[in-house]
Amino acid sequence: MTTKIDITLSETKKEKPESGQLEFGRVFTDHMFVMDYSPTKGWHDARITPYEPISLNPSSMVFHYGQTVFEGLKAYRTEDDKVLLFRPEKNMQRLNLSNERLCIPQIDGDFVIEALKQLVAIDKDWIPTAEGTSLYIRPFIIPTEYYLGVAPSKFYRFMIILSPVGSYYKEGIHPVKIFVENQYVRAVAGGTGKAKTGGNYASSLKAQEEASKKGYSQVLWLDGVEKKYIEEVGSMNIFFKINGEVVTPELNGSILEGVTRNSILKMLSHWGMVVSERKLSMEEVYQAYKQGLLEEAFGTGTAAVISPIGEFYYNDEKITINDGETGEISKKLYDTLTGIQKGTHEDIFNWVTEVK
Amino acid sequence: MTTKIDITLSETKKEKPESGQLEFGRVFTDHMFVMDYSPTKGWHDARITPYEPISLNPSSMVFHYGQTVFEGLKAYRTEDDKVLLFRPEKNMQRLNLSNERLCIPQIDGDFVIEALKQLVAIDKDWIPTAEGTSLYIRPFIIPTEYYLGVAPSKFYRFMIILSPVGSYYKEGIHPVKIFVENQYVRAVAGGTGKAKTGGNYASSLKAQEEASKKGYSQVLWLDGVEKKYIEEVGSMNIFFKINGEVVTPELNGSILEGVTRNSILKMLSHWGMVVSERKLSMEEVYQAYKQGLLEEAFGTGTAAVISPIGEFYYNDEKITINDGETGEISKKLYDTLTGIQKGTHEDIFNWVTEVK
């Protein structure tokens, strides 16, 4: 296992974008972290280099068989100029779960967090400070063997790139409209649903495109077997508040184990709320709506943090939630979570790690 | 739509491998075909260039979200030195079906076949002639936009690369042993099973790796809903001969619509055999075996052509077929199909296209 990180700093610095005009994932910083894997050396040649293109032969497996995994986390700059990371060890655990499912060698999470901290420290000036902005961190692994047989690659590249970002959705913290998908399926038990791998996202594009044409931001995925139970929404986990109970679908192998999801469950329990992780059918949500018991709904994820849901389109009917406004719990969770992440709220769960 | 193909020939020629020692997909020819897509220009800048690396920023979507499609077909050299392609128009039709599912712009199949013929003609000397060898042709499309949002890419690259190949399996035409998979799932209705996209192959690796450790070459996939009905085997379609009837699973949206599968159905019907495309459970196959009615089984695909199956491992039991030997129909299909492909059998179905 590699322990030394070579550092080559960029001779030129790119112009930084205006903090107030940031989109998601369009602009990248001056440096990146790279390491390579081979069967004989394991992970080796760890280095921080200028942000630069990857050059691979067209027969490289990454262009053919989708054996990729990735993670997403964020760095925040506090008012007193500290740099904070949020639960990076959870992302490393999940990356190794994804690796295991995709036949990719395990990484040393502690080492990668150290590399990530060095990289973020070098590009610290890129961390935006405007409300709703942060530095998005994208670790990812690609297969690099030059071979067209269908088999796990023998060679890999691990990289971390950084992007100063604004809100993931153009709606920002305003409620989004969601289309309940009844034709396309994202994942099924025995598949790759709980891994952060490219194919899960590729297979979601068609449904998202069709929903978008109908005026909906994202789709709500139902289970692949009965198309009855709620799984997740777009690329987020989902929560409902029904008659005082906060419910999110249980982890069943086809749902992503979100770091934000996990954090919200802990926060809600800490506040003494009734919280359940269980099977939840769309019909149950619909009946709750009919009885006036559907109080709130929101998506959760690193990119969007908390994304309140104002409307579902389900079986040719519009389900409006909380008059299309952001609910009380959604707001409180957003404020508390971003407060902990930005260092303005006390870190009572010990979730935050400082980059020195 | 592009109609002109720029040609830049390589100044150096690589050494060609020995025809008798070819593996699958390890060696590539001197040239490749490339064209690019942008929203304003459509597919443009079609060119044949020396085989060379692709250079893309690390934020390129291909490294993150798996929005890739590909095809596989073969060119053969006849005894009188003609170069033949087998049903390339079927591959172009399927490529556009895959494009449609993955939100990738449609290609002009006729133009791509023309490009492919020019490319194969330029690298004609790479086509091997030994028994069981051919020139494998790999068209593929990758998303090239520099963006981390989950959405269809706005930019793409289409490429064709060529590889002189031997047998796909080390067993060659000898029967393979197959593990009936009861834990992992390849695809489900509403997913991407019928598209040739990277994620389908990435999700198959884990099961294949575990089967391989138990001594089995490939896995047999069952349906994702009931894990009961037969779908396909490894990266091939599958056929059984049961009590005189040749059966293959019907196209249900989660099975790949194989060109070889389609050709075999036409050949068997032409020979007057009883052929069915229908739902087929593993239990039905098992019961046929118990009653001594399971006569043959074989996989079909461009890479392997016909791959006879000598044994299944199913529910802790070994099912041996035809004493582990290549069956009569498998052999006849292999001989006839490769005969048509190599120009030694009459092309009664008009499947073969000559590269001038």
Q: Determine the residue type at B13.
A: K
Answer whether B188's CB lies under 8 Å from B60's CB: no
Helix (H, G, I), strand (E, B) or coil at A105: coil
Q: Is A323 left (phi over 0), alpha (psi -120 to 50) or beta?
A: left
Q: Across the interface, which of A199, A224, A234 has its CB nearest the CB of B198?
A: A199
Helix (H, G, I), strand (E, B) or coil at A190: coil
Q: Determine the residue type at B256.
A: L
Helix (H, G, I), strand (E, B) or coil at A104: coil
Q: Specify the pLDDT at position B2.
A: 57
Write the pLDDT tens digit of every residue in A243-259: 999 999 999 989 999 99
Answer whether B117's CB lies under 8 Å from B167's CB: no
Q: What are phi and psi of A235, to 5 degrees?
A: -110, 40
Q: Which residue has the higher pLDDT, B189 or B200?
A: B200
Angle between helices A259-270 and A328-342 in degrees, nearest 10 = 110
Write the pLDDT tens digit of every residue in B267-305: 999 999 999 999 999 999 999 999 999 999 999 999 888
Provide the strand spans (E) within B174-316.
176-180, 218-222, 230-233, 237-242, 245-249, 274-278, 294-301, 305-314
**A contact test, residue of B22, B33, B59 with most A CBs within 10 A:** B59
**Residue A81: band (very low, low, confident or very high) from pLDDT cuts 50, 70, 90:** very high
Chain B positions touching A32 (Cβ under 8 A) are 58
Answer whether A188's CB lies under 8 Å from A95's CB: no
Q: Specify the pLDDT at position A170.
A: 66
Q: Determine the residue type at B1.
A: M
Lowest mean pLDDT among A50-64, A103-117, B186-200: B186-200
Q: Specify the pLDDT at position A1.
A: 54
**A contact test, residue of B31, B33, B71, B185 with most A CBs within 10 A:** B185
Chain-chain contact of B185 with A183 (C-beta, under 8 angstroms): no
**Min CA distance, A321 vs chain B (Å)?**
25
| Residue B83 bridge partners (DSSP) | B77, B355
CA distance B242 to B268: 14
Task: Output DSSP code: residue A154.
Answer: S
**B contact test, residue of A205, A216, A222 with most B CBs within 10 A:** A205
Structure tokens at A149: 């047989």
Question: Does pLDDT of A199 surpass 70?
Answer: yes
Lowest mean pLDDT among A70-74, B170-174, B288-292: B170-174
Residue count of chain A, please give it.
356
Question: Does pLDDT of B185 surpass 60?
Answer: yes
**Min CA distance, B159 vs chain A (Å)?**
8
Q: Compute the average pLDDT of residues A176-190.
A: 92
Residues A54-80 as b/e (b if ≥16 CB within 10 A, e otherwise) read: bebbbbbbbbbbbbbbbbbbbbbbbee
Helix (H, G, I), strand (E, B) or coil at B77: strand
**Min CA distance, A191 vs chain B (Å)?**
5
* Spatial CA neighbour of A87 closest among A334, A337, A333, A344: A337
Domains of chain A plus CATH, in order, are: 6-165 (3.30.470.10), 176-342 (3.20.10.10)
Chain-chain contact of A54 with B59 (C-beta, under 8 angstroms): no
% of chain B at pLDDT higher than 90? 90
**B contact test, residue of A68, A165, A171, A200 with most B CBs within 10 A:** A68
Chain A positions touching B142 (Cβ under 8 A) are 63
* Spatial CA neighbour of A67 closest among A185, A193, A156: A156
Write the pLDDT tens digit of every residue in A29-46: 999 999 999 999 999 999
Chain B positions touching A209 (Cβ under 8 A) are 103, 152
Q: Across the interface, which of B57, B152, B205 has its CB nearest the CB of A102?
A: B205
Q: Across the interface, which of B28, B184, B189 has its CB nearest the CB of A190?
A: B184
Residue count of chain B, please give it.
356
Task: Output DSSP code: residue B16.
Answer: P
**Residue A3: band (very low, low, confident or very high) from pLDDT cuts 50, 70, 90:** confident
Q: Is B81 left (phi over 0), alpha (psi -120 to 50) or beta?
A: left
Chain-chain contact of A209 with B146 (C-beta, under 8 angstroms): no
- Tokens 């000036």, residue? A125
Question: Does pLDDT of A167 surpass 90?
Answer: no
Q: Which residue has the higher pLDDT, A50 or A305?
A: A50
Provide the strand spans (E) within A57-115.
69-70, 73-77, 83-86
Chain B positions touching A232 (Cβ under 8 A) are none
Give Dmax over CA atoms of chain B in angstroms: 64
Answer whether A30's CB lies under 8 Å from A124's CB: no
Question: Does pLDDT of A115 surpass 70?
Answer: yes
Mean pLDDT, chain B, rounded, equals 95
Structure tokens at B228: 């009961």
Which CA distances in Å does B349 have to A39, A176, B273?
A: 48, 55, 17
Question: Does pLDDT of A2 surpass 60?
Answer: no
If you count residue pairs, one on A and one on B, with CB atoms under 8 Å apart, how many are there? 225
Q: What is the ipTM of this complex?
A: 0.96
Write the pLDDT tens digit of every residue in B323-347: 999 999 999 999 999 999 999 999 9
Chain-chain contact of A66 with B64 (C-beta, under 8 angstroms): no
CA distance B301 to B260: 5
CA distance B256 to B303: 14
CA distance B107 to B42: 10
* Spatial CA neighbour of B1 closest among B158, B195, B137, B161: B158
Chain A positions touching B26 (Cβ under 8 A) are 146-148
Answer whether A105's CB lies under 8 Å from A153's CB: no
Answer whether B230's CB lies under 8 Å from B238's CB: yes
